[in-house]
Chain A
């Protein structure tokens, strides 16, 4: 099948304004599958790898495909192959979503394969973190595998490759091979027997690091000569211990592991296009089953950095607290901030799988988050900057319960009650001493309705402190049934819990903080100093009491919030996941 370039607009559903209490979008879940199916139409049928443009057919291809088909029974097999050397970020989410999603949509299977061939960079914590994130995104791998599971087989294949005259042991130094016009190896034509002996010696520890490598006789797309297949590292491997001192490279390992696992569609990002021919070359040189490699555009998000090195710098500079600081776009950070996994999946689907590289602004992701939370986060009332209100026409000890629906748009989904007493708190911004045209909320002259309570309040007295700041209002209240319909209803709390609220904004001021033309002094000079605002004594209604970490709520008229792991018994801490509307500046 012809691979056609799919433009972003074809797959991206029309973005709609999401109303504060808008209707949940029923078709949201479906769109993911639809998108995938759209792409899948362009993929080969299992066993018909040769129909893909650029696929290399050898005299053995047909019989190998036949065997492959017998083994797989025609099932789609994909894999998500991260290197366990860092934390996953939003870019990985796309790979997870595409690989697992494509398999799932086609009744296929998807492997989680750790590409753990570099013992120097791997740490146990990354393995568990990666698996956590895959599962958090709602996928369960058919099987968790490791490239290192195949070390012996890969070694045997390397010996075979030498025997077939396709690889040789080279003694050129690493620095001689750097740069563009690296000289060809003087060892390229050494006898096969010699390379076999020397390769075994590499394995037995007879060379120091860097004194010998195994190289494959092929030229890569970018002109790189004879990529290295094996190098010596006197470093233990977290899984194979001290068994090996030669380790295979990505170029050597990746395609062979795909082949060993009978992967049907080897989906990877665009950067690997330059390695497609080496991928096909190697499996064919060894007469092994050859999967189809298909590249899609990498997902890049503006206003952030995702590289491990740069995040380390941010942590070290104290700009962010840790890898999961909610201002970052690592998956752990997004989880902590309260992004639901469905939203991330929907976002990936919306961005779509295209050949071209996509750069997306975070608001698209946030809008996906709003869509999901609107449908799933129960409403509660919280006042971030409280103003005390005393209702003078209520008796001293008056107390009544007010029923608040969890989802006002669908009251059948349940409700909770909050107390209503003589003292309540409202947002300072919901009162203005001086009336302004178009201002619909409380002023000394203009009454306002209290949401859910069924009351309308009107100001009786404004109490100020020595500096002239309004500190309290005394009001009268009357039932909304008896009063004239107010122009607006505001949220309030009574006998509330005190909690901490953390408000987040973009971490960087510029769209591309890594672009030297936009930010000449480097990304560390581009930090938004207001990226986090902490409100230590916000007030929230008692219905959130007992909430668990990562429980999500809509603070009515304020935004979506998620309970942070920093919370204690005595004090809840909420992260603002997203505002209710795209631009919180507007009122």
Chain B
């Protein structure tokens, strides 16, 4: 007993001493004669100066490290931010954390990038009582720009915008690197673990369009993280545990008494579910048995586990058909996986005194949240709150995830907000260190802007939708008489590529937060920002080299020896556009909004068209069609565009074909 007493005494003494020091300091502050700051402050200032110095060294080395790995694509925006960051800090040492804004410019006359920090800095200085115009600050920033190899010139525009013109040689060099090394992600400081929880349908229920969105968006996020070099764990958090399994198993026992020895031929699980639900509602005996079954299943009696597995397997097969169509890799780890952990979660909240009883329920109030989480129901059962807390805990501590993302509809936003707040409260993670995020999305609407239903008013089965897509895609190909050009195999490939590519792209190209209107007509249109257009654009670019009789080896040789000239305005525009890929990915990484990537690919395709319309790549004899001259540097630009587009498709989960 003496130990805690003495340690408490020591703590109290320490606190009292601190109180005395603080009171003394307050007294001395009251005394206007001693204007000299406390020695402690002096010490902290020194420390701060040293830390700033160290930060600068670390940043510089980080930058050096980045540019050393020239194999990797460089984020031009980030490089500019480093350069401007240095200049801004040097121009305004008064500001502790000056704003740093560098954005690409849309209009060529304003240069390639723009730094807009001066205005915000002037505001901040004004608040500190220093009057200085944004233009003056902008001038100072320009004076303080460190030596670099990427900026050609800068100019001040308007109230204090700094327009940045990139060096052509710099852009050209980056393009050559891209051609030689392929699309390499910017270097990653450390390999981080990402858990993406997506798709997550319910066993014994049909997958619907909501699951389609989660599946498409989640898969694309995973692909992006994988490309960037993260260690990604794709988790399918299926609903495989709950009271509904009691009635399903009870019904199974009645309908297929020998289910333990021979697999029951359940083809339509949904019908099976409806039957059992009907009995559950109508037969009192059945209902009782169903409850008993739940208890026996949860106590893991082998017969019941077997029955549960049988039912799950039927659903799994259904799901897998969808995943095969959409080329989705995912690991199933349903709610049942977390069963035992839920008990521990409850214990932990109880043990730390963070939960309370409320009319028989055990609830948890997280700071700043008006609604509590229910972690134990009054009947002793667990809830989604409990299972999601358990899953989060397992992902943080067992999977050691650095980033955890939940891709579900926005309707669950509040639920996840509560779960995250509770997890932070109990100290499972620090949001400064670990990124735990709910990436919500809006609902799918029909073309009538109403909830997406079949004509008869039923929920649309996902498989039916995909089949419809295939059919529409084939119709479109035949309309264009592609069936006459392509071999049957090529035609089939094109059909799948267009159908699933369009479904995915239509989803991804809209801001996921908004509701989205599902329309086959729109997604299959080969004009505008659609997969159809982009897929055609890519095959067309690929065909340019093919028609000029240039093979991969020749392109590679050219990339080594030929400088990518960027003298023509459209060449310059295209070159810069290509190199924006890393900064686009950075943005998507930050906000998880994949439509930015789609917009970029569309912009790249249209920029390419502008380039192709005004710059000859291959000159041919008008009569014979013979190739007279190949402008190799332009072929390289074509190749670079195609490489980036292909990589973009890969991240979006769209599978381009060589011919269509």
Please give the residue numbers on chain A whose beta carbons come within 8 Å of chain B beta carbons, in ascending order: 204-206, 208-209, 234-236, 242, 245
Contact = CB atoms under 8 A, between A and B. Distances in A.
A209 B61 contact: no
Contacts of B53: 234-236, 242, 245
Nearest to A246: B57
Nearest to A233: B50
A186 B332 CA distance: 50
24 contacts: A204-B57, A204-B58, A204-B61, A205-B54, A205-B57, A205-B58, A205-B61, A206-B58, A208-B54, A209-B50, A234-B50, A234-B51, A234-B53, A234-B54, A234-B57, A235-B50, A235-B53, A236-B53, A242-B53, A242-B56, A242-B57, A245-B53, A245-B54, A245-B57
Contacts of A208: 54
Contacts of B57: 204-205, 234, 242, 245
A235 B51 CA distance: 10
Nearest to B55: A205
Interface in B28-64: 50-51, 53-54, 56-58, 61
Contacts of B51: 234
A209 B54 CA distance: 10
A242 B49 CA distance: 12
A78 to B, nearest CB: 36
A246 to B, nearest CB: 10
Interface string B338-382: 000000000000000000000000000000000000000000000
A206 B57 CA distance: 9
Given A204-B57, A205-B58, A209-B50, 17 more contacts: A204-B58, A204-B61, A205-B57, A206-B58, A208-B54, A234-B51, A234-B53, A234-B54, A234-B57, A235-B50, A235-B53, A236-B53, A242-B53, A242-B56, A242-B57, A245-B53, A245-B54
A236 B50 CA distance: 9
Interface of B: 50-51, 53-54, 56-58, 61
Contacts of A236: 53
Contacts of B54: 205, 208, 234, 245
A378 to B, nearest CB: 52
A381 B580 CA distance: 87
Nearest to B64: A204
Contacts of B61: 204-205
A204 B54 CA distance: 9
Contacts of A242: 53, 56-57
B93 to A, nearest CB: 13
Contacts of B58: 204-206
A209 B47 CA distance: 11
A206 B59 CA distance: 11
B62 to A, nearest CB: 9
A299 B467 CA distance: 101
Q: Is the interface of B mostly helix, strand, loop or mixed?
A: helix
A209 B50 CA distance: 9
A120 to B, nearest CB: 11
A268 B322 CA distance: 85
Nearest to B50: A234
A206 B51 CA distance: 12
A517 B53 CA distance: 47
B465 to A, nearest CB: 54
A212 to B, nearest CB: 13
A209 to B, nearest CB: 7
Nearest to B61: A204
A206 B54 CA distance: 9
Contacts of A234: 50-51, 53-54, 57
A208 B53 CA distance: 11
A245 B60 CA distance: 12
Q: Which 10 A-B pairs have the closest CB atoms?
A: A205-B57, A234-B50, A204-B61, A234-B53, A205-B58, A234-B54, A245-B57, A205-B54, A242-B56, A242-B53
Nearest to B65: A204
A129 B61 CA distance: 36
A431 B344 CA distance: 111
B45 to A, nearest CB: 13
A235 B49 CA distance: 8
Nearest to A242: B56
A209 B51 CA distance: 10
Contacts of B50: 209, 234-235
A479 B342 CA distance: 127
A209 B49 CA distance: 13
A245 B53 CA distance: 8
A205 B57 CA distance: 6
Contacts of A204: 57-58, 61
A158 B54 CA distance: 21
A59 to B, nearest CB: 38
A230 to B, nearest CB: 15
A363 B26 CA distance: 57
B147 to A, nearest CB: 13
Nearest to B47: A234
Find the residue from B50, B57, B58, B61 having the highest chain A CB count within 10 A. B57
Nearest to B51: A234
A204 B57 CA distance: 6
Pick the most buried of A205, A208, A209, A236: most chain B CB atoms within 10 A of its CB.
A205
Contacts of A209: 50
Nearest to A201: B61
A234 to B, nearest CB: 4
| Residue from A206, A236, A245 having most chain B Cβ neighbours under 10 A | A245
Contacts of A205: 54, 57-58, 61
Nearest to A205: B57
A242 B56 CA distance: 8
A151 B43 CA distance: 29
B58 to A, nearest CB: 4
A154 B564 CA distance: 41
A209 B395 CA distance: 36
A205 B51 CA distance: 10
A208 B51 CA distance: 9
A357 B58 CA distance: 48
B466 to A, nearest CB: 52
A208 B55 CA distance: 11
Nearest to B56: A242
A236 B57 CA distance: 11
A234 B50 CA distance: 5
A208 B58 CA distance: 12
B214 to A, nearest CB: 41
B47 to A, nearest CB: 9
A239 B602 CA distance: 51
A208 B47 CA distance: 11
Contacts of A235: 50, 53
Nearest to A204: B61
Contacts of A245: 53-54, 57
A232 to B, nearest CB: 9
B507 to A, nearest CB: 44
A205 B63 CA distance: 13
B190 to A, nearest CB: 13
A244 to B, nearest CB: 8
A205 B64 CA distance: 13
Contacts of A206: 58
A234 B57 CA distance: 9
B399 to A, nearest CB: 28
B90 to A, nearest CB: 10
A206 B50 CA distance: 13
Nearest to B57: A205
Nearest to A244: B57
B63 to A, nearest CB: 11
Nearest to A232: B54
A242 B58 CA distance: 11
A236 B90 CA distance: 14
Nearest to A200: B61
A108 to B, nearest CB: 40
B496 to A, nearest CB: 50
**Which of B51, B54, B56, B58 neighbours the largest number of chain A CB atoms within 10 Å of its CB?**
B54
B68 to A, nearest CB: 12
A206 B55 CA distance: 10
